[in-house]
């Protein structure tokens, strides 16, 4: 059995039983019993018909094969579960609970013959497919074949929330929804929607009831037919209810495939293309932002000043979004400096160490050392609690992780803490203690003064200007 898994990779249990029966000349039933009782193999159960499971060897967990096969089998034999995996894939491996509720075909309250969102998520977590952090679901570390880009996932959700705010104003201003009825993450028909609102539009009203505008948002990557099927399933379900209200379904998208576009039209969905709703300049600015977020390190290396140019564009066309992503963009300042110093950088990755997940904002690798930077683009001074957490929890985790990494384990490790708003008085006292405790350059804290000094060292006038007018201002 082990040899079959080594040769063929992860398999659905019925397939393994057939191969085992052929290899050893026994009946399929006998082979199935041996597979079900076998020790030393990993299983994912509870998502496939006929009580089948996905089986694989422990050393096959960290790789694309298990996750890809799991998704493929769910798509074939457990489509309602597959929507969850596809939503996580679409959103770079992590997604907030609120948004995942909208992308999953599970009711948020009990419905006859349907498992609820909570019940399904508990099953995913129990089987070791997903993990749940503070308000966020992500693929379990054992199934990830690369590091989780928490930086990208979180910032994309901030962008989506901004687009939803803009859509709310549009929908209210043109009379699609009653002014005070628009709700983000609303419950309609026991399913979660990114937005919903009561509609006074004549065609949606009956003699006794108003209709509803309901919708979701897909943003940040190409969208294909399979990516929108969850939306159609939800619509068809709520329309099947006896006495269901009339609805106007809307899907907000920025990059939709022709087949998906035609499929949505055939199903009677209003396709809210960002460029058509808010203008080409708005859409281009969002696209530029998402492009540099998707591979932050490569974007900085290719065009170090692009994020500064984007700040200027967002200030003109989407100031609300600019304020909301201030923290994310601040990481680019640190990355920009390390590139100037001839380092190579990685940004926004999440590592698993000491039994927990830790976000590594910027990792800069030089010929003679490695620097890990924690970046806080704040509007208020960094408190002592944040300093204590960084020193007591993150520094040991990062150090342990780097020391096990072949590329970095023999290089000295330095840590830097960048705070755009400086530090509280008690935090400064703690920093003074740490300066005596740690060797010189091992742990460095930077506030506005020190950060500006580095920008001047770079002789970068644009960066100096944005530090003064954007990053260091408490009201932006």
Is the pLDDT at 248 greater than 90? The verdict is yes
- Concatenated DSSP letters for 273-332? EHHHHH-HHHHHHHHHHHHHHHTHHHHHHH-TTHHHHHHHHHHHH-HHHHHHTHHHHHHH
pLDDT in tens, 284-310: 999 999 888 888 888 888 899 999 999
Whole-prediction pTM value?
0.86
Q: Which two tokens stand for residue 109?
A: 């309250």
Asked if 230 contacts 87 with a C-beta cutoff of 8 angstroms, the reply is yes
- Concatenated DSSP letters for 140-155? -GGG-SS-EEHHHHHH
Which residues are 136's β-sheet partners? Answer: 96, 133
Banded pLDDT at 42 (limits 50, 70, 90): confident
Is the pLDDT at 404 greater than 80? The verdict is yes
Dist CA 298 CA 456 (whole Å): 24
Q: Which two tokens stand for residue 237?
A: 């379900």
Dist CA 357 CA 133 (whole Å): 9
Position 154 scores a pLDDT of: 84
Question: Which of the pair, 291 or 459, is modelled with greater confidence?
Answer: 459
| Residue position matching structure tokens 């040769």 | 7
Position 145 scores a pLDDT of: 61
Is the pLDDT at 236 greater than 70? The verdict is yes
| Residue position matching structure tokens 């590592």 | 351
Dist CA 335 CA 340 (whole Å): 9
Position 437 scores a pLDDT of: 87
Position 263 scores a pLDDT of: 97
Dist CA 476 CA 469 (whole Å): 9
pLDDT in tens, 341-390: 999 999 888 888 877 888 899 999 999 899 999 999 988 999 999 999 99
Position 320 scores a pLDDT of: 87
Position 60 scores a pLDDT of: 73
Boundaries of every domain in the chain: 1-54, 78-278, 295-471
Beta strand pairing status for 356-365 and 136-139?
unpaired
Banded pLDDT at 62 (limits 50, 70, 90): low
- Over residues 422-439, mean pLDDT: 93
The CA angle 384-389-161, to the nearest 5 degrees, is 90
Residue 179, SS3 per DSSP: coil
pLDDT in tens, 113-160: 788 999 999 999 998 899 998 889 998 887 776 666 777 888 899 999
Banded pLDDT at 64 (limits 50, 70, 90): low
Dist CA 197 CA 181 (whole Å): 5
Angle subtended by helix axes 448-458 and 326-340, to nearest 10 = 50
Beta strand pairing status for 191-199 and 211-218?
antiparallel
The CA angle 416-417-421, to the nearest 5 degrees, is 150
Q: Which two tokens stand for residue 400?
A: 């342990």
Lowest mean pLDDT, pick from 9-13, 96-100, 215-219, 366-370: 9-13
pLDDT in tens, 250-269: 999 999 999 999 999 999 99
Is the pLDDT at 63 greater than 70? The verdict is no
Position 146 scores a pLDDT of: 63
Asked, colleague to colleague, whether 78-278 and 295-471 share their fold, the answer is yes
Question: Which of the pair, 281 or 133, is modelled with greater confidence?
Answer: 281
Asked if 427 contacts 382 with a C-beta cutoff of 8 angstroms, the reply is yes
Which residues are 12's β-sheet partners? Answer: 54
| Residue position matching structure tokens 């009711």 | 107
Question: Which of the pair, 99 or 319, is modelled with greater confidence?
Answer: 99
Q: What strands lie across the sheet with 344-353, from one edge to the other?
A: 148-149, 344-353, 356-365, 370-376, 413-419, 443-446
CATH says 295-471 is which class? alpha beta
Banded pLDDT at 8 (limits 50, 70, 90): confident
Banded pLDDT at 474 (limits 50, 70, 90): low
Dist CA 44 CA 127 (whole Å): 6
- Does domain 78-278 fall under CATH 3.40.1350.10? My reply is yes
Q: For the chain, what percent of residues have pLDDT higher than 70? A: 97
Position 316 scores a pLDDT of: 85
- 165 contact partners, CB below 8 Å, separation of at least 6: 320
**pLDDT, mean over the chain:** 90
Banded pLDDT at 65 (limits 50, 70, 90): low
Question: Which of the pair, 5 or 363, is modelled with greater confidence?
Answer: 363
Question: Which of the pair, 14 or 59, is modelled with greater confidence?
Answer: 14
Dist CA 351 CA 471 (whole Å): 27
């Amino acid at each position: 059995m082990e040899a079959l898994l080594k040769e063929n990779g992860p398999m659905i249990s019925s397939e393994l039983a057939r191969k085992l029966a052929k290899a050893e000349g026994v009946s399929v039933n006998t082979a199935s019993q041996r597979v079900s009782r076998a020790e030393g193999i990993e299983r994912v159960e509870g998502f496939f018909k006929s009580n089948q499971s996905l089986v694989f060897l422990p050393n096959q967990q960290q790789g694309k094969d298990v996750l890809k096969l799991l998704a493929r089998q769910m798509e074939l034999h457990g489509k309602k579960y597959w929507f969850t995996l596809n939503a996580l894939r679409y959103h770079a491996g992590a997604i907030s609970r609120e948004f995942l509720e909208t992308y999953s075909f599970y009711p948020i309250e009990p419905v006859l013959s349907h498992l609820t969102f909570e019940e399904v998520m508990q099953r995913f977590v129990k089987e070791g497919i997903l993990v749940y952090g503070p308000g966020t679901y992500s693929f379990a570390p054992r199934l990830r074949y690369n590091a989780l880009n928490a930086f990208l996932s979180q910032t994309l959700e901030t962008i989506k929330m901004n687009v939803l705010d803009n859509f709310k104003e549009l929908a209210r201003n043109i009379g699609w929804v009653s002014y005070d009825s628009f709700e983000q993450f609303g419950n309609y028909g026991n399913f979660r929607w990114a937005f919903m609102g009561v509609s006074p539009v004549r065609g949606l009203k009956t003699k006794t009831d108003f209709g509803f505008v309901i919708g979701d948002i897909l943003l940040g990557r190409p969208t294909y037919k399979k990516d929108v099927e969850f939306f159609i399933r939800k619509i068809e379900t709520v329309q099947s209810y006896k006495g269901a209200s009339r609805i106007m379904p809307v899907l907000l998208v920025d990059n939709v495939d022709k087949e998906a576009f035609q499929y949505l039209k055939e199903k009677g969905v209003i396709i809210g293309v960002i460029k058509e709703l808010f203008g080409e300049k708005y859409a281009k600015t969002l696209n530029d932002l998402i492009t540099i977020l998707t591979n932050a390190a490569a974007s900085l290396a290719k065009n170090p000043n692009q994020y500064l140019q984007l700040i200027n564009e967002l200030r003109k066309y989407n100031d609300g979004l600019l304020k909301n992503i201030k923290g994310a963009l601040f990481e680019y300042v640190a990355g920009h400096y390390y590139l100037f110093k001839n380092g190579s950088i990685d940004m926004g990755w999440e590592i698993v160490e000491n039994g927990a997940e830790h976000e590594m904002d910027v990792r800069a690798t030089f010929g003679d050392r490695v620097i890990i930077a924690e970046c806080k683009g704040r509007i208020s001074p960094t408190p002592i609690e944040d300093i204590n957490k960084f020193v007591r929890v993150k520094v040991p985790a990062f150090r342990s992780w780097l020391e096990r990494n072949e590329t970095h384990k023999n290089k000295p490790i330095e840590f830097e803490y960048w705070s755009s708003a400086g530090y509280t008085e008690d935090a400064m006292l703690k920093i003074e203690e740490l300066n005596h405790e740690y060797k010189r350059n091992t742990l460095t804290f930077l506030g506005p003064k020190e950060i500006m000094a580095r920008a001047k060292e770079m002789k970068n006038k644009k960066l100096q200007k944005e530090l003064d007018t954007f990053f260091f201002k408490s009201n932006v």
